[in-house]
Amino acid sequence: MVLTTDTKLTPKSSSTQEIYWYTLTPLDVLMFRDAKPFTPGERAWASGDVFPPNGHTIAGAIRGLLSQKLEIKLTGPFLCYKNELYFPKPLSWVGEQLLTPQAWLPQDHPAKQMVWDTDQPSPLVLPERNPHDSDSDAPPGPEIRQFLPYRSILKWIQGNRLKAEDFYCNQEANETSKPWKIETRPHNTLQAGTRQVKEADGYFVEKVIRLATEWSLAIGLDEKTHTLIQQLQQLGQPLSLRLGGEGHRVILELANVSISEQWQLLKLHSEHNFQQQSKSLAYLITPGVFERITLDSKSQRRKSICQAWPWEWTPMGRHNAKNPVLAGVATAQPVPISCRFRDDADQSKPAPQVFAAPSGSVYFLEKPDSLYQDQEISKKVNHWRQLGYSELLWIPYQEVK
């Protein structure tokens, strides 16, 4: 089936509202602090390598621009280069080979002899050794892209295998694995009337992000937010907003129509793959927050637990499970997210920290299954989706031959 932006499909969720795409182009460096508390003198490093920024940060910046409290429905953020979207490299690929859950391997595969805890997802293995792999001291090759262009993701979502040109940086074009650099900014505070650094709180280092030339961030906004932004533009107010720490700013502009077309085509293919109800891969393109409130048996207190996959997707090997669809998980180190909320007195207070599955995580499922947090009736967890978290694209699984 050939899909275009005119193809009519029944959506799997109600989140089919019009999306208006904008780009955020830095005027200078950007700084996004990590979730750890910082006090000069107690902790010398003021920020971490936090980029792209999370949905809370961008939503807060837009509310600051509009000078009002409103609910924002956000898609993204994604990296963008010359009007082409870029997405995090899928963690299910090792070199040019796609990892496969042990449970999905042919019966004659040597890895079928493996034993693991069936309460957990099946281990992931390489179905075959890449003939280009070598244990010898070969000269280093090109860097691996940490973000793949839209054209590569479109090829994968259409059921085609990715190849070397999709993963490796173009050395002739001087591509690098990430389109930004980390810069360190040391700060010294001198004692009054002297040329000596203060003994207390006198030295700390900030880490900042410098995005490469012609790169920007792309975000999708709901119609109400889009209308308010356009009203500001009609008043002649410059569309720049403060993003991150220390007052650094970005230019906010309507994106080229090609950005919207790319997103629509990806979503059309994704929903078509979802409706096939066969073995599929769920590709996480923004950090996924999968939180569950449980009751501690000892203290009898409620506590939140985050894990790397949705709680409603039960591992296939778990006995007497209601929905055993999850065969395997390809993920990495969790991403700490620390946000804020406003209490009844409209005072800003820190919210409990959560740990998100990193973007690029891939889930292997016996059949596609929607997220509980996609449902608008689940207001608390649906809030994560409204801010752009846990965005999935569905990929058809290719059988190992």
Handedness of CA 222, 335, 287, 81 (dihedral sign): positive
**Given this model, what pLDDT does residue 48 score?**
59
Q: What letters, b where the CB count within 10 A reaches 16 and e where it falls short, cover 215-225?
A: bbbbbbbbeeb
Tell me phi and psi for residue 104, to 5 degrees: -100, 0
Locate tokens 């700390």: which residue? 204
Report the chain's C-alpha Rg in angstroms. 23
Angle of the 257-275 helix axis to the 150-157 helix axis, nearest 10 = 20
pTM: 0.88
- With tokens 């720490």, the residue in question is 245
Cα–Cα distance for residue pair 169/155, rounded to 1 Å? 18
Give the pLDDT score at 218.
98
List Cβ neighbours of 333 (8 Å cut-off, separation of 6 or more): 358
| Residue 239 backbone dihedrals phi, psi, to 5 degrees | -90, 75
Cα three-residue angle 192-195-197, rounded to 5 degrees: 80
Residues 77 and 285: their CA atoms lie apart, in Å, by: 9
What is the maximal distance between C-alpha atoms in the chain? Answer: 79
| Tokens linked to 393 | 């694209």
- Which helix (H) or strand (E) covers residue 79, if one does? strand 74-81
Question: Rounded to 5 degrees, what are φ and ψ at 245?
Answer: -90, 165
Q: What are phi and psi of 371, to 5 degrees?
A: -85, 145
Query: Which single residue is written with the structure tokens 């006995």?
Result: 319
Where would I find the H helices in 174-312? Answer: 223-234, 257-275
Structure tokens at 313: 């997707």
Cα–Cα distance for residue pair 207/47, rounded to 1 Å: 6
pLDDT tens track, the chain, 401 positions = 445 544 444 434 434 579 999 999 999 889 887 655 555 554 455 555 678 999 999 999 999 999 888 899 999 999 999 999 999 999 998 877 889 999 898 888 888 888 888 889 999 998 765 545 544 444 456 788 999 999 999 999 999 988 888 998 877 667 788 999 988 876 655 556 655 555 555 556 778 899 999 999 999 999 999 999 999 988 776 789 999 877 789 999 999 999 999 999 999 999 999 999 899 999 999 999 999 888 777 777 888 889 999 999 999 878 777 778 999 999 999 998 887 777 777 777 777 888 999 999 999 999 999 998 988 777 778 899 999 999 999 999 987 65
Tokens representing 207 are 């880490």
Peptide bond into 77 cis (omega under 30): yes
Which of 209, 207, 144 is CA-nearest to residue 176? 144
Q: How far apart are CA 89 and CA 93, in angstroms?
A: 8
3-state secondary structure of 84: strand
Structure tokens at 7: 């193809």
Residues 304 and 291: beta-carbon distance below 8 Å: yes
Distance from CA of residue 88 to its chain's centroid? Answer: 7
Q: Which of 206, 160, 212, 245 is CA-nearest to residue 45?
A: 206
Q: From CA 213, how far away is CA 343, in angstroms rounded?
A: 41
